[in-house]
Amino acid sequence: MRRIATIILLAFLAMPAWSQFEHPDLKSGKAVVKTLVILPPNVRFVKNGVKSVEEMPEVSRDLENALPPLITEALNQKHYEVNDKAFSSDALEKDSDLKYAVADLQKRFDEVLPQMQRKPKDVRKGRFTLGDEVAKLNPGGTADAMIFVRGFGQTVTGGKSFLSAMAHNYTYSGMFYHIAVVDAHTGNVLYYGVAGGLGSHLVKTPSAGKSMEKFFKNFPEGKSSS
């Protein structure tokens, strides 16, 4: 599931960062979001060297674990309630039905993601949805929205950078996150965009929190619980 073709990874690295697109219902306030739940992020990170591209699973896992708290903090500051533990590894291991349901929904998101990548502006036309199957993971309607994250990144060795520069085919270290907020009742994609950039392959930096705040800058201000 992690093994995505390197050519796709490099295409992601060429995409502009910090772009966000809102569903018209979210922008108008018709879609009311107060509480969100984060599904397990899926990150692929590699070392791009002269002879080969090497998978770095430990770095990938570290990034996956570090992202939910950053997203939670960014949305808490906008007065949203966020649950980043509902679908944790421990929760999924204790409930096989939940584990399979999450896997099915993640697969559905991966089917829709390429379409959003090709025509992200269509989010503003309300053209993307995961379908009402999302309700299976939202018993009682306790969550208003779900957050999906896909990350793709690489660190380039000095030798690779030198050779690519000599060939005028520049290769850079970088990390990009594709993040989508999905209506937990209808499955409609309410908010989608790309966060990250060149050199920002490590999420555990002083600027990491600011980066996630920047990504959610166009997400509507939530309602304070007070």
Read off φ and ψ for residue 127, nearest 5 degrees: -95, -5
State which amino acid sits at residue 92.
Answer: L
Place of tokens 């570290």: 62
The mean pLDDT of the chain is 83
Place of tokens 């679908």: 87
Residue 162 has pLDDT above 70, yes or no: no
CB-based burial, 104-142: b 16+ in 10 Å, e otherwise: ebbebbeebbeebbeebeebeeeebbbeeebeebbeeee
Q: Tell me, what's the pLDDT at 50? A: 76
Comparing 207 with 116, which gets the higher pLDDT? 116
pLDDT in tens, 169-201: 656 667 888 999 999 999 999 999 988 765 555
Quote helix, strand, coil % in the chain, to nearest 5. Answer: 45, 25, 35
Q: Tell me, what's the pLDDT at 11? A: 47
Residue 10 has pLDDT above 70, yes or no: no
Q: Tell me, what's the pLDDT at 47? A: 84
Half-sphere exposure of 187 (CA within 13 A, CB side): 16
Q: Domain residues of the chain, as ranges?
A: 6-218
